A and B are shown apart, each in its own frame.
Chain A
């Protein structure tokens, strides 16, 4: 292994969370960062990611769970001075379990909440204790590995600083024709096609029930039942969310903590995921609902308190603290290259 001034971030996993969390961290990095991703949204993000220091390395689409490990091993073998693994300590398909014990690099785990059945089934706690130099926990202090000695909590990692949002606020409002004199409700449609369809149906119900509101759908692909005039495709979504009075969506990592930072009520329909416990996150940070009728009644309650939102609230982006913690590890935990 040859060291280089570069960070590698392993961010395999479906959806937005792994991709956005990795980019939020990479934007602070003092070195070039290469992020291994397989999010279906990565290609679109790459076209608008205006940071020459960040490279998105897409996992080839034709790789399977059986063939991906070879690719991952080759990717990790490139010169770097730090490996940061998002969410899956053993790798998404367990491939890191064979690679990490032989790796001569500081290893840092980004730890969000995980299903405890997975923790038990794959003996994750012992593996992380042995093979990671540091565990960074952005925003979820009750995550199952938080008790390990190398754990370090930070605020959630966000893609935008408050001042960055301020700079684009008017531009985004004009671009997507979002009013300031009446409530704006944004439905954030993510997930599988069947889930996107449900959000599309929800959009129709909300628009019909609250005609005095501006109802929009923030989504990479326009869901069924969503009129083109209601559809917003924009990355990072936080640029648009800042203009919302209410947000409706799942309870994934990004949306939950972006709304929390912006102090916008999130009415969440937790999505069923294999590793992520959205139910739990929703219960802690959102107004969780199950049915469309519950969603509509919750919106009604929130709108009774509506008044034009003031300026963007101040919030702490945890990626700064994460950067300091990583730098401490990379300096102190220098692992010499193997001999021979």
Chain B
């Protein structure tokens, strides 16, 4: 089962929107959370806050439905404000783990899942599938062990993955590091890089908050790197403040 989550870091204000495979562990200490459960790789979400237990809760599948299992934390794991030791979760629910309020944006079951098993960007949400196969100086990886490849269709951004496993950009390391996976696409869009009115990119740029990657429905291939780049845009600040006028 694939779960798309969304939250804003209460410390930094930075939004995150990863899509992860279950089971998903939440805690403040990456090393304390299990890397595997029942022979399944665990996506470990690090929520760095003193109110969050080192291994706080586990989002897992039971009897075909998504459940959150509070690991006996002091403050509980709440779903829509209700703390129970074990409770079902559906799309639209808000999980509260310490100061983190995590929205369950979408849940895709095996029958409908088509999201590649992508690890999330940054230090949180690195799935075991990614970390287990961490790079050891292979092609395209820098001295810090992360990928140097420039990814993103609209806006280039350093990949930063620790592994090629599950990467949709290099296709598990099968695309040469000096090859832009979008090379052929750019031939179709000579105005690439121009987002002003009357350029083809204007439409995509203006509607960028609507995009998500859903191969099942063949929605726009708007890559995570593009999304991450746009997070820095000032207009992302709209609709964030209840005191605005």
Which residues of A approach B to under 8 Å, CB–CB? 12-15, 17-18, 38, 59, 63-68, 70, 87, 90-94, 117-118, 120-123, 252, 273-276
Contact = CB atoms under 8 A, between A and B. Distances in A.
B241 A274 contact: yes
A14 B239 contact: no
25 contacts: A13-B244, A14-B242, A14-B244, A15-B245, A18-B245, A65-B241, A65-B242, A66-B8, A67-B94, A70-B80, A90-B239, A92-B239, A92-B241, A92-B242, A92-B244, A93-B239, A94-B239, A118-B235, A120-B235, A121-B206, A122-B239, A123-B210, A273-B245, A274-B241, A275-B245
B103 interface: yes
B209 A122 contact: yes
Interface of B: 7-8, 80-81, 94, 101, 103, 206-207, 209-210, 235-245
Contacts of A123: 206-207, 209-210
A65 B240 contact: yes
B245 A68 contact: no
Contacts of A59: 242
A94 B94 CA distance: 16
Contacts of B207: 123
Given A273-B245, A274-B244, A121 B238 contact: yes
A14 B242 CA distance: 7
A93 B210 CA distance: 15
Listed from nearest, the 6 A-B pairs whose CB atoms lie closest are: A121-B235, A94-B239, A14-B243, A15-B245, A66-B101, A14-B245
Contacts of A67: 81, 94, 101
A12 B243 CA distance: 8
Nearest to A253: B245
Contacts of A38: 242-243
Contacts of A275: 238, 244-245
A70 B94 contact: yes
B239 A120 contact: no
B94 A117 contact: no
A66 B103 contact: yes
A18 B209 CA distance: 26
